[in-house]
């Protein structure tokens, strides 16, 4: 027992004096969480927290056009900013780029005629939508459909204008006909455990994603110290002191498990306290601390085993850093760290099961997002322990073979 304490002390001293490792283990994930939580906020914004800014110019100035724009303004998804009536396209374009508007809507003269119930030719242009090329296709389609729906609604309103008595006589409730369609749809978020649910936000995705990623980055400090120990003969010296391979491996597993625990606590605190300060949402945790500990332990075991395997195979620290870094990035990209899995096409989502980072991320999301418990993360945890055990056993064999040469 005393020996492991000396090993722990040594590992923490070496690590604490290695600025690069500290940056990789603690500063890099904090930066990623902050940047990605803010950068992906729009992608996760399904509940109207963030509005799309749109410039509006009404060249028509008629009652129908005013009513149409009023209908749009009532939609909470968009934030409309009026420019003076009669403003030309060039000025509008200039303002769009100056103040970062992605869209501008110009209601052209003749809108009221097209909206008129007696209009015989509605094929004429009624509006111009100016769009920046950087706008994604989905947003553009949603916006265009919304305008089309609002226009249709304006025309229906125009059609029934003056027909109230007849409709009343027919038993048609005009207010119900004109009721906003949004009110007719109730949205319900579902969770695995059927208990509570949380609306997914960018911070709920970013914290577990970059946490898993950073936990796997123990490959840098572990391989640095391990390869130095092997190349400088320290491992041979330890072997001559009757220190077993098991104790040598335990001497890496335990300290870096503690490092991983510190990372988890730190990243959660960043999600709860720092991201909101930067303008993002606050991270909310699940209720299962047992589940959180289980998935943390499993990810930690797998990541340290992976690091030891890389360290045992690589000849130099540069070699290990390259192998470890490249593998981590590939596993991260595949596992939904950099791009959330739900935006991946189906075949990529299927491929993502090949990455242990994906299992870890699913486990953390089970806890943070879906209010899962120990049982919910059991499958992912067992997979991570299993692959970790395979890698650790392979490492032990490689180390024994290398030391006996």
Figure out which of the listed residues 242, 345, 346, 347 binds another protein, where binding follows CB under 8 A.
Answer: 242
Q: Is 3 in the site for another protein (CB under 8 A)?
A: yes
CA angle 122, 132, 204 (to 5 degrees): 110
Element holding 58 (H helix, E strand):
strand 52-58
- 216 touches 325 (CB < 8 A): no
134 contributes a contact to another protein by CB under 8 A: no
Count the site residues for another protein by CB under 8 A. 26
Q: Residue 236 or 278: which CB sits closer to another protein?
A: 236
Is 6 one of the binding residues for another protein (CB under 8 A)?
yes
Member of 98, 120, 121, 240 binding another protein (CB under 8 A): 240
Residues with Cβ within 8 Å of residue 249, at least 6 apart in sequence: 308, 392, 395, 396, 399
Query: Which has the closest alpha carbon to 105: 76, 134, 136, 78?
Result: 78
Report 13-52 residues binding another protein (CB under 8 A): 13-14, 17-18
Burial of residue 110 (number of CB atoms within 10 Å: 0-12, 13-18, 19+): middle
255 CB-near residues (< 8 Å, 6+ apart):
7, 8, 11, 12, 15
Instruction: Output 7 or 292, the one with its CB closest to another protein.
Output: 7
With binding defined as CB under 8 A, does residue 241 bind another protein?
Answer: yes
Q: How do 78-82 and 127-131 pair as beta strands?
A: unpaired
The CA distance from 144 to 121, in Å, is 21
Among 91, 177, 195, 236, binds another protein (CB under 8 A): 236
Burial pattern 135-165, b for ≥16 Cβ within 10 A else e, equals eeeeeeeebeeebeebbebbbebbebeeeee
Q: How far is the CB of 268 from another protein (least distance, A)?
A: 30
Q: How far is the CB of 97 from another protein (least distance, A)?
A: 53
Q: Which stretch binds another protein (CB under 8 A): 71-79, 90-98, 233-241, 316-324?
A: 233-241
Least gap, CB of 315 to another protein (angstroms): 15
Query: Which one, 136 or 234, has the nearer CB to another protein?
Result: 234
Tell whether residue 7 is a contact of another protein (CB under 8 A).
yes
3-state SS assignment for residue 177: helix
Does residue 402 belong to the site contacting another protein (CB under 8 A)?
no
Q: Does residue 394 touch another protein according to CB under 8 A?
A: no
Binding site for another protein (CB under 8 A): 2-3, 5-7, 9-10, 13-14, 17-18, 231-234, 236-243, 403-405
């Amino acid at each position: 027992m005393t020996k492991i304490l000396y090993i722990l002390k040594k590992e923490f001293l070496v690590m604490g004096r290695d600025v690069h490792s500290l940056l990789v283990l603690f500063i890099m994930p904090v930066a990623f969480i902050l940047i990605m939580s803010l950068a992906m906020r729009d992608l996760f914004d399904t509940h109207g927290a963030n509005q799309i800014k749109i410039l509006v110019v009404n060249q028509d100035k008629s009652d129908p056009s005013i009513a149409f724009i009023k209908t749009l303004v009532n939609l909470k998804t968009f934030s409309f900013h009026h420019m003076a009536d009669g403003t030309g396209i060039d000025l509008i374009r200039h303002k769009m780029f100056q103040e970062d508007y992605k869209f501008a809507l110009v209601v052209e003269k003749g809108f009221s005629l097209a909206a008129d119930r007696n209009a015989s030719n509605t094929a004429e242009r009624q509006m111009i939508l100016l769009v920046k090329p950087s706008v994604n296709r989905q947003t553009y389609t949603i916006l265009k459909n919304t305008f089309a729906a609002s226009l249709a609604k304006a025309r229906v309103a125009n059609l029934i204008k003056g027909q109230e008595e007849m409709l009343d006589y027919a038993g048609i409730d005009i207010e119900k006909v004109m009721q906003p369609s949004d009110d007719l749809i109730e949205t319900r978020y579902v969770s695995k455990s059927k208990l509570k649910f949380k609306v997914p936000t960018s911070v709920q995705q970013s914290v577990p994603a970059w946490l898993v990623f950073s936990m796997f980055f123990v490959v840098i400090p572990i391989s640095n110290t391990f390869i130095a120990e092997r190349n400088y003969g320290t491992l041979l010296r330890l072997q001559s002191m009757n220190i077993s391979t098991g104790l040598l491996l335990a001497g890496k597993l335990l300290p870096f498990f503690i490092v991983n625990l510190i990372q988890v606590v730190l990243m959660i605190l960043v999600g709860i306290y720092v991201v909101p300060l930067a303008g993002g949402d606050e991270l909310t945790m699940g209720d299962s601390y047992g589940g959180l500990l289980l998935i943390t332990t499993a990810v930690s075991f797998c990541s340290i085993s992976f690091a030891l395997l890389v360290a045992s195979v690589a000849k130099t620290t540069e070699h290990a850093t390259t192998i470890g870094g490249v593998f981590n990035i590939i596993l991260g990209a595949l596992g939904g760290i950099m791009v959330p899995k739900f935006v991946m096409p189906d075949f990529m989502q299927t491929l993502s099961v090949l990455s242990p980072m994906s299992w870890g991320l699913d486990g953390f999301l089970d806890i943070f997002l879906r209010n899962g418990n120990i049982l919910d993360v059991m499958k992912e945890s067992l997979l991570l322990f299993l692959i970790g055990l395979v890698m650790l056993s392979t490492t032990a064999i490689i180390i024994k073979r290398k030391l006996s040469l």
